[in-house]
Amino acid sequence: MQIWSTNSGWFQVFKYQNNQFINWSNNKVLDVRGGKDEEATPVQMWGNNGSKAQIWNVVYIDTADKDRTKGFNKDFGFHINRPFYLRSRMPMKRVAECHGANNVWLKRWRKNTTAQQWYFDEVSKTLKNNHWKSHSLDIQGNGTSNNVRCTTTNSRWWQLFRYENRFIKNERGKVLEIQGNVDAENRNIIMHAPHGRINQLWDVIYVDEWKGEPGKGELNEDFGLYVERTFYVVSALNDGRYLDLINNRNMVIKTSNGRNT
């Protein structure tokens, strides 16, 4: 089926009856090809078989439910309109940032940086950037590339992602990953077939629940250490020697000696 300039030929005239769109002339009905309930499945005219692929509901917009502006969208796994960080599970726990309304990079978290914040938009069903609000997470080249960027929202399949089991997944089964498994600043983010390694795992952390990184003197729970609080490292061997540095480079154990090494 296609759209075409109006000419009212028999092939353009349909009535809506018993939840079917029926051609006025040949009585064929509007049908989802193969009954495939998948994104962008074509529709066609087909003999009436009464299946669900041929049953349609006309929902007049003036009486339709308004799009939700908050709450959880189960299909996509995100809260609606609630900004979040997309934080990698790799050790540095960097976040995905929209860089200059174009590429999406891995960056260290920075306070109040809205380019690092994303939100699920219920109307477009995309992940919009909280700084570039007309831009959404997108697979470059209309989905033909593996590069991920942030570009003008269009709601096509290459902009639809759901959060599932720590993966950011698209409908073609690929997942968001840090390219080359390298946990580095400005590292590129791409789509890749899932393999489950840590560079494909993400936490969605809502900004209103984000505790921020621990400051000086505070415990970093992930690393088990207090931030910028000086300590010794003492061996559990009998003599209780201290971790030390010799020749400006090599690490050894030594008796406590009061030096900054």
Partner 1 sequence: MFRYKDSFVTNEKGKVIAVSGGLDNENRNIVMEQKNGKVHQRWRVVYVDEYEEEPTKGQLNKKFGLYVERDFYVVSSLPDKRYLDVINNRNMVIKTKNGRRTQVWYFHQQSLTIRTRYNN
- Give the interface segment with partner 1, choosing from 41-49, 108-116, 209-217, 243-251 (CB under 8 A): 41-49
Interaction pattern, residues 104-143, with partner 1; x per rule: CB under 8 A: -------------------xxx------------------
Please say whether the beta carbons of 10 and 23 come within 8 A: yes
- Residue 55 tokens read as 């049953």
55 lies in the binding site for partner 1 (CB under 8 A)? yes
- Distance of alpha carbon 75 from alpha carbon 68, whole angstroms: 14
Least Å distance, CB 133 to partner 1, is: 14
Among 23, 46, 56, 261, binds partner 1 (CB under 8 A): 56
142 or 235: whose CB is closer to partner 1? Answer: 142
Long-range pairs of 129-136 with CB within 8 A, sequence gap ≥ 24:
129/98, 129/101, 130/83, 131/98, 132/98, 132/101, 135/98, 135/101
CA 185 to chain centre: 19
CA 87 to chain centre: 10
- Distance of alpha carbon 17 from alpha carbon 179, whole angstroms: 53
Least Å distance, CB 165 to partner 1, is: 20
- Distance of alpha carbon 137 from alpha carbon 183, whole angstroms: 20
Which of the residues 67 through 106 are near partner 1 (CB under 8 A)?
67, 75
31 or 177: whose CB is closer to partner 1? Answer: 31
Residues in Cβ contact with 223 at an 8 Å cutoff, skipping those fewer than 6 apart: none
Which of the residues 13 through 32 are near partner 1 (CB under 8 A)?
13-17, 19, 21, 32
- Give the interface segment with partner 1, choosing from 81-89, 109-117, 155-163, 196-204 (CB under 8 A): 155-163
75 or 209: whose CB is closer to partner 1? Answer: 75
Q: Helix, strand, or coil here: 138?
A: strand
Q: Where do contacts with partner 1 occur on this chain (CB under 8 A)?
A: 1-4, 6-10, 12-17, 19, 21, 32, 35, 37, 39-43, 52-53, 55-62, 64, 67, 75, 123-125, 154-156, 160
